[in-house]
Amino acid sequence: QGKLRRKTAGTLLLKEKLLREATLLEKDILEVSSFLNHMVDVELMEACGEELAERLEATQPSKVLTVEATGLLPAMFAGKALGLPVVFARKSRQIGVSDSYQVAYKSHMVSSTTDLYVSTEYLTPGDRVLIIDDFLAGGRTADALIRVCKMANANVVGCGFLIEKLNDAGRAFLSGYQVPLEAISLV
């Protein structure tokens, strides 16, 4: 019973936060600043990261990959739970890093194109990569991370998200990759 409680703690806490504090803005934007992307509920992020780790540990990842900003929060706790390093894609080229994988993508939230950079030192051939992010909306960010992994000849073994926005069809967009996708909360 203790294991079951731990396994679902992220789901229960996130559902409660979404019901109490999230608001829906124009263009179906889910505003979660009070606990995720401006002020952070650390206990919630830890529970969610642990739950994603438990759901996806059977994929036997060797690294966790995310994008800098709010994807780091659940990714760090998932990495800690799995005993794995967390690599994050940067949105600008890092000073002192000469070789990087670079991929451009257009986010669901912004109209401009964004470049992501991951050092060739930290993502290597044969890595078994678990992608963790805060939202699965249109799937563009996860797609960009999967493409970075392909450049590195690394294998994406799964993707985990805190919140999946069902109306944005990100799961369908990513279905061609045939990797396990887990989301703690569906909205």
* Domain 2-186 = CATH 1.10.260.40: no
- What are the extents of the domains in the chain? 2-186
Where do we find the tokens 């229960």?
12
Say what the pLDDT of residue 110 is.
66
Nearest to 182 by CA among 36, 82, 46, 58: 58
What is the rounded CA–CA span in Å between residue 1 and residue 133?
28
> Can you give the pTM of this predicted structure?
0.89
Buried b (16+ CB within 10 A) or exposed e, 58-88: ebebbbbbbbeebbbbbbbbbbebbebebbb
Distance (Å, whole) CA 110 – CA 165? 16
User: In this prediction, what percent of the chain has a pLDDT beyond 70?
Assistant: 90
The pLDDT tens digits of the residues spanning 141-159 come to 999 999 999 999 999 999 9
Q: What is the pLDDT of residue 160?
A: 98
What was the pLDDT predicted at 102? 92
Mean pLDDT, to the nearest integer, of 102-113?
Answer: 80
